Protein backbone atom coordinates (compact mmCIF):
# COMPACT_ATOMS: atom_id res chain seq x y z
CA UNK A 1 0.00 0.00 0.00
CA UNK A 2 1.36 3.43 -0.95
CA UNK A 3 -0.06 6.64 0.56
CA UNK A 4 0.68 10.27 -0.19
CA UNK A 5 2.38 12.29 2.53
CA UNK A 6 0.84 15.74 2.97
CA UNK A 7 2.56 18.80 4.46
CA UNK A 8 0.62 22.06 4.84
CA UNK A 9 -1.88 20.97 2.20
CA UNK A 10 0.63 19.81 -0.42
CA UNK A 11 1.53 16.26 -1.41
CA UNK A 12 5.27 16.10 -0.73
CA UNK A 13 6.13 12.41 -0.68
CA UNK A 14 4.99 8.86 -0.11
CA UNK A 15 4.55 6.34 2.68
CA UNK A 16 4.88 2.70 1.67
CA UNK A 17 3.35 0.13 4.02
CA UNK A 18 4.18 -3.53 3.52
CA UNK A 19 3.15 -6.46 5.70
CA UNK A 20 5.84 -9.03 6.44
CA UNK A 21 4.62 -11.74 8.77
CA UNK A 22 3.57 -10.29 12.12
CA UNK A 23 5.02 -6.88 11.29
CA UNK A 24 4.46 -3.95 8.99
CA UNK A 25 7.39 -2.15 7.42
CA UNK A 26 6.80 1.56 6.90
CA UNK A 27 9.11 3.42 4.56
CA UNK A 28 8.50 7.12 4.07
CA UNK A 29 10.15 9.50 1.65
CA UNK A 30 8.56 12.76 2.71
CA UNK A 31 10.07 14.82 -0.10
CA UNK A 32 11.38 17.61 2.13
CA UNK A 33 14.48 18.29 4.22
CA UNK A 34 13.08 19.70 7.47
CA UNK A 35 14.66 22.67 9.21
CA UNK A 36 12.92 21.72 12.46
CA UNK A 37 11.83 18.33 13.83
CA UNK A 38 8.70 17.09 12.06
CA UNK A 39 6.64 14.03 12.89
CA UNK A 40 4.86 11.81 10.43
CA UNK A 41 1.31 11.05 11.54
CA UNK A 42 -1.05 8.28 10.43
CA UNK A 43 -4.61 9.54 10.01
CA UNK A 44 -7.81 7.46 10.10
CA UNK A 45 -10.82 9.74 10.14
CA UNK A 46 -10.40 11.76 13.33
CA UNK A 47 -7.85 9.38 14.85
CA UNK A 48 -4.22 10.49 14.59
CA UNK A 49 -1.19 8.42 15.60
CA UNK A 50 2.45 9.40 15.50
CA UNK A 51 4.61 7.14 13.35
CA UNK A 52 7.84 8.91 14.26
CA UNK A 53 10.17 11.85 13.61
CA UNK A 54 11.52 12.09 10.07
CA UNK A 55 15.25 12.34 9.48
CA UNK A 56 17.12 15.33 8.06
CA UNK A 57 16.88 13.70 4.64
CA UNK A 58 13.07 13.57 4.93
CA UNK A 59 12.90 9.80 5.37
CA UNK A 60 11.55 7.50 8.04
CA UNK A 61 11.85 3.73 8.31
CA UNK A 62 9.87 1.86 10.97
CA UNK A 63 8.84 -1.67 11.75
CA UNK A 64 5.62 -1.96 13.72
CA UNK A 65 3.76 -4.96 15.02
CA UNK A 66 0.34 -5.56 13.49
CA UNK A 67 -1.22 -4.45 16.79
CA UNK A 68 0.65 -1.10 16.64
CA UNK A 69 -0.02 -0.51 12.94
CA UNK A 70 -3.67 -1.49 12.63
CA UNK A 71 -5.96 -0.07 11.58
CA UNK A 72 -3.82 1.02 8.67
CA UNK A 73 -3.87 4.75 7.94
CA UNK A 74 -6.03 6.32 5.24
CA UNK A 75 -3.52 9.13 4.81
CA UNK A 76 -0.27 10.48 6.27
CA UNK A 77 0.57 14.05 7.28
CA UNK A 78 3.75 15.82 8.38
CA UNK A 79 3.88 18.44 11.09
CA UNK A 80 4.38 19.10 14.75
CA UNK A 81 2.10 19.36 17.77
CA UNK A 82 1.07 22.95 18.52
CA UNK A 83 -1.07 23.82 21.53
CA UNK A 84 -2.59 20.34 21.56
CA UNK A 85 -3.39 20.52 17.83
CA UNK A 86 -1.98 17.86 15.49
CA UNK A 87 -1.69 18.18 11.71
CA UNK A 88 -4.66 16.62 9.93
CA UNK A 89 -6.30 16.14 6.55
CA UNK A 90 -9.55 14.40 5.80
CA UNK A 91 -13.21 15.04 5.10
CA UNK A 92 -15.82 17.05 7.02
CA UNK A 93 -19.45 17.32 5.98
CA UNK A 94 -18.62 16.10 2.46
CA UNK A 95 -15.80 18.63 1.93
CA UNK A 96 -12.15 17.62 1.67
CA UNK A 97 -9.75 19.41 4.00
CA UNK A 98 -6.14 19.01 2.85
CA UNK A 99 -4.53 21.34 5.39
CA UNK A 100 -5.85 21.41 8.92
CA UNK A 101 -5.10 20.79 12.56
CA UNK A 102 -7.14 18.67 14.95
CA UNK A 103 -7.45 18.65 18.74
CA UNK A 104 -9.68 16.27 20.65
CA UNK A 105 -11.58 17.73 23.60
CA UNK A 106 -13.94 14.82 24.36
CA UNK A 107 -16.66 14.62 23.25
CA UNK A 108 -15.84 17.42 20.80
CA UNK A 109 -13.13 17.82 18.22
CA UNK A 110 -11.63 21.19 17.35
CA UNK A 111 -10.66 21.62 13.70
CA UNK A 112 -8.30 24.53 12.93
CA UNK A 113 -8.32 25.61 9.29
CA UNK A 114 -5.42 27.80 8.10
CA UNK A 115 -6.45 30.94 6.20
CA UNK A 116 -4.62 31.28 2.87
CA UNK A 117 -2.91 34.48 1.74
CA UNK A 118 -5.91 35.01 -0.55
CA UNK A 119 -8.24 34.86 2.46
CA UNK A 120 -9.70 31.48 1.55
CA UNK A 121 -10.61 28.81 4.07
CA UNK A 122 -12.37 25.43 3.66
CA UNK A 123 -15.86 24.97 5.11
CA UNK A 124 -16.57 28.71 4.74
CA UNK A 125 -20.29 27.97 5.09
CA UNK A 126 -19.59 27.52 8.81
CA UNK A 127 -17.68 30.80 9.22
CA UNK A 128 -20.19 32.16 11.75
CA UNK A 129 -19.32 29.22 14.03
CA UNK A 130 -15.53 29.63 13.71
CA UNK A 131 -13.19 31.40 16.11
CA UNK A 132 -9.81 32.87 15.05
CA UNK A 133 -6.72 31.35 16.63
CA UNK A 134 -3.04 30.99 15.79
CA UNK A 135 -1.92 27.37 15.41
CA UNK A 136 1.67 26.45 14.58
CA UNK A 137 2.36 30.11 13.72
CA UNK A 138 -0.47 30.22 11.18
CA UNK A 139 -3.71 32.23 11.28
CA UNK A 140 -6.57 29.75 11.53
CA UNK A 141 -10.31 29.63 12.00
CA UNK A 142 -11.35 26.96 14.52
CA UNK A 143 -14.56 24.96 14.09
CA UNK A 144 -16.02 22.68 16.78
CA UNK A 145 -17.13 19.23 15.57
CA UNK A 146 -19.15 16.56 17.32
CA UNK A 147 -19.50 13.08 15.82
CA UNK A 148 -17.57 14.37 12.80
CA UNK A 149 -20.06 17.14 12.00
CA UNK A 150 -20.04 20.88 12.76
CA UNK A 151 -22.20 21.74 15.76
CA UNK A 152 -25.56 23.30 14.87
CA UNK A 153 -25.71 27.06 15.28
CA UNK A 154 -27.70 27.94 18.41
CA UNK A 155 -30.58 30.41 18.08
CA UNK A 156 -30.48 33.39 18.11
CA UNK A 157 -27.38 33.77 15.99
CA UNK A 158 -25.26 36.87 15.67
CA UNK A 159 -24.03 36.57 12.10
CA UNK A 160 -20.56 37.75 11.23
CA UNK A 161 -19.53 37.64 7.61
CA UNK A 162 -16.87 35.20 6.46
CA UNK A 163 -14.75 38.16 5.31
CA UNK A 164 -14.79 39.62 8.85
CA UNK A 165 -13.73 36.27 10.33
CA UNK A 166 -10.87 35.95 7.83
CA UNK A 167 -9.81 39.54 8.54
CA UNK A 168 -9.87 38.84 12.30
CA UNK A 169 -7.68 35.77 11.79
CA UNK A 170 -5.26 37.84 9.66
CA UNK A 171 -5.05 40.48 12.40
CA UNK A 172 -4.30 37.73 14.91
CA UNK A 173 -1.43 36.52 12.73
CA UNK A 174 -0.12 40.10 12.37
CA UNK A 175 -0.17 40.58 16.16
CA UNK A 176 1.77 37.32 16.63
CA UNK A 177 4.35 38.43 14.03
CA UNK A 178 4.80 41.78 15.82
CA UNK A 179 5.27 40.05 19.18
CA UNK A 180 7.86 37.68 17.68
CA UNK A 181 9.75 40.60 16.11
CA UNK A 182 9.83 42.44 19.45
CA UNK A 183 11.41 39.42 21.18
- CATH number of the domain to which 35 belongs: 2.60.40
Q: Are residues 7 and 35 in the same domain?
A: yes
Listed residues 79, 105, 130: the one ending a domain: 79
Q: Are residues 60 and 100 in the same domain?
A: no
φ, ψ of residue 177 in degrees (nearest 5): -65, -40
Please check whether residue 143 is in contact with residue 149, taking contact to mean a CB–CB distance below 8 angstroms.
no
Section 12-41 average pLDDT: 94
Amino acid 174: pLDDT: 61
Strand partners, 146: 108, 149
Amino acid 95: pLDDT: 87
Q: Are residues 72 and 97 in the same domain?
A: no
Amino acid 119: pLDDT: 74
Burial of 60 (0-12, 13-18, 19+ CB in 10 A): buried
Please check whether residue 13 is in contact with residue 58, taking contact to mean a CB–CB distance below 8 angstroms.
yes
Task: For residue 107, give its domain range.
Answer: 86-182
Residue 176 has pLDDT above 60, yes or no: no
Amino acid 42: pLDDT: 94
Taking Cα atoms as reference points, which of 74, 65, 164 lies closest to residue 115?
Answer: 164
Section 10-30 average pLDDT: 95
- pLDDT band with cut points at 50, 70 and 90 for residue 157: very low
Pairing verdict, β 149-150 and 23-29: unpaired
Amino acid 142: pLDDT: 92
Q: Are residues 143 and 104 in the same domain?
A: yes
The total domain count for the chain is 2
- Residue predicted with more confidence, 87 or 121: 87
Q: Are residues 14 and 54 in the same domain?
A: yes
Listed residues 79, 112, 130: the one ending a domain: 79
- Residue predicted with more confidence, 165 or 66: 66
* Percent of the chain whose predicted confidence (pLDDT) is above 70: 85
Q: Are residues 98 and 178 in the same domain?
A: yes
pLDDT tens digits along 102-112? 998 878 899 99
Amino acid 22: pLDDT: 93
Amino acid 9: pLDDT: 87
Q: Are residues 95 and 167 in the same domain?
A: yes
Q: Are residues 136 and 158 in the same domain?
A: yes
Q: Are residues 157 and 104 in the same domain?
A: yes
Section 28-49 average pLDDT: 92
Q: What's the mean pLDDT when you consider all of the chain?
A: 85
Residue 63 has pLDDT above 50, yes or no: yes
pLDDT tens digits along 44-53? 988 999 999 9
Amino acid sequence: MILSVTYQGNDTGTLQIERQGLYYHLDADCGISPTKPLRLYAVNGFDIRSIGVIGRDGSLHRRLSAREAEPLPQTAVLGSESGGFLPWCGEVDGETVRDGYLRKDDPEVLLALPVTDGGEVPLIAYAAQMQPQTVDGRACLVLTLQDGKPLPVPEPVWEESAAEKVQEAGELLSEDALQSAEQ
